[in-house]
């Protein structure tokens, strides 16, 4: 069974089509890199898949649960949003204890899990300091632990390594791979393409709400115009290159051309 499956998933905000007829089928225990320019619809897709917003049309399941069933879906998914909610006046440990309570973990189980995850990220020694005094990287690590505390089947990560120094970013990358190797499915949205190249089993590129290319990172690079010498960045630029100075009509034509090009790449 696919961990994430969508059919014709669409979200409109008035005249804006944020997510347009999205078809996804992502296997369990894989890392899926979700790429796209600003405003492509990545956050909206993650909000749809975590039942934070409802589709205008289409449907989907995550861990076998319909994405419109918020109550059943909530324990099965974890979400690290781009700006994670953290309570500045709590210590790292208190913040995580609070979230564990919301997730119905017993105090003893919560303590054990929090300590193990914090130790794993090299943050246990600072667990009793106020979040207000944490660095960006320390906050990001707490937010990461918060998203995986209840051992979800599928975890959605929005820019999990942004603002991290190379060592902290490497730690998070290794944990992402570790999650997938343990059977968790990771849906990873980031603009940091080397991160995706390093950890993703498959990549989807979103442009104007539409999936314009999908495949293993190295296969996408090989099949795109970039050729053998190319990188994921070349593929990304090739498929999402919309000149902002275009009028909306000619811009649309250009989009369509890019989409057709991408269709060839998709198989």
Is 33 a binding residue for ligand ATP by CB under 6 A? The answer is no
Is 39 a binding residue for ligand ATP by CB under 6 A? The answer is yes
Is 44 a binding residue for ligand ATP by CB under 6 A? The answer is yes
Q: Quick check: helix, strand or coil at residue 62?
A: strand
Q: How far is the CB of 40 from ligand ATP (least distance, A)?
A: 4
Total of chain residues touching ligand ATP, rule CB under 6 A: 11
Q: Where are the beta strands (DSSP E) in the chain?
A: 2-13, 16-27, 31-35, 57-62, 65-66, 77-80, 154-158, 185-189, 202-207, 210-215
Interacting residue with ligand ATP among 43, 61, 161, 240 (CB under 6 A): 43
What tokens does 221 get?
């690079």
In angstroms, the CA 213 to CA 215 distance is 7
User: How far does CA 100 lie from the centroid of its chain?
Assistant: 21
Q: How far is the CB of 126 from ligand ATP (least distance, A)?
A: 29
Q: How far is the CB of 82 from ligand ATP (least distance, A)?
A: 6
* DSSP code string of 112-173: HHHHHHHHHTT-GGGTTSBGGG--HHHHHHHHHHHHHTT--SEEEEESTTTT--HHHHHHHH
Q: Give the other-Cβ count within 10 Å of 99's Cβ.
A: 22
Is 16 a binding residue for ligand ATP by CB under 6 A? The answer is yes
Interacting residue with ligand ATP among 4, 9, 18, 226 (CB under 6 A): 18
H helix intervals, 10-55: 42-49
Between 43 and 161, name the residue whose CB sits nearer to ligand ATP.
Answer: 43
- Considering only 39-47, 67-75, 96-104, 143-151, which stretch makes contact with ligand ATP by CB under 6 A? 39-47
Nearest one of 152, 204, 147 to 172, comparing CA atoms: 147
Interacting residue with ligand ATP among 8, 13, 101, 104 (CB under 6 A): 13
Q: How far is the CB of 43 from ligand ATP (least distance, A)?
A: 3
Between 93 and 187, name the residue whose CB sits nearer to ligand ATP.
Answer: 187
The half-sphere exposure of 177 on its side-chain side, counting CA atoms within 13 A, is: 12
Between 116 and 136, name the residue whose CB sits nearer to ligand ATP.
Answer: 136
Is 36 a binding residue for ligand ATP by CB under 6 A? The answer is yes
Nearest one of 96, 136, 101 to 118, comparing CA atoms: 96
CB-CB contact of 121 with 135 (8 Å): no
User: How far does CA 168 lie from the centroid of its chain?
Assistant: 18
Q: How far is the CB of 123 from ligand ATP (least distance, A)?
A: 26
Q: How far is the CB of 38 from ligand ATP (least distance, A)?
A: 3
Is 83 a binding residue for ligand ATP by CB under 6 A? The answer is no
Interacting residue with ligand ATP among 4, 6, 24, 41 (CB under 6 A): 41
Interacting residue with ligand ATP among 20, 33, 42, 139 (CB under 6 A): 42
For ligand ATP, the binding residues (CB under 6 A) are 13, 16, 18, 36, 38-44
């Amino acid at each position: 069974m696919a961990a994430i499956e969508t059919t014709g998933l669409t979200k409109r905000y008035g005249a804006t089509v944020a997510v347009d007829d999205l078809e996804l089928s992502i296997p369990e225990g894989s890392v899926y890199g979700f790429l796209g320019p600003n405003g492509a619809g990545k956050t909206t897709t993650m909000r749809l898949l975590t039942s934070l917003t409802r589709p205008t049309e289409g449907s989907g399941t995550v861990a076998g649960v319909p994405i419109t069933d918020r109550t059943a879906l909530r324990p099965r998914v974890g979400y690290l949003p781009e700006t994670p909610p953290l309570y500045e006046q709590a210590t790292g440990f208190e913040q995580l204890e609070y979230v564990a309570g919301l997730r119905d973990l017993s105090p003893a189980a919560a303590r054990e899990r929090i300590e193990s995850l914090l130790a794993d990220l090299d943050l246990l020694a600072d667990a009793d300091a106020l979040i207000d005094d944490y660095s960006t990287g320390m906050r990001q690590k707490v937010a990461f632990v918060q998203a995986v505390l209840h051992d979800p089947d599928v975890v959605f990560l929005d820019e999990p390594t942004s603002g991290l120094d190379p060592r902290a970013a490497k730690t998070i990358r290794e944990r992402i791979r570790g999650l997938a190797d343990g059977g968790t499915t990771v849906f990873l949205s980031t603009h940091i393409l080397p991160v995706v190249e390093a950890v993703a089993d498959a990549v989807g590129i979103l442009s104007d709400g539409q999936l314009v290319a999908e495949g293993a990172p190295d296969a996408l690079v090989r099949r795109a115009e970039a050729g053998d010498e190319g990188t994921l960045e070349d593929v990304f630029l090739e498929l999402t290159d919309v000149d902002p100075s275009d009028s909306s009509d000619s811009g649309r034509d250009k989009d369509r051309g890019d989409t057709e090009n991408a269709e060839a790449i998709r198989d």
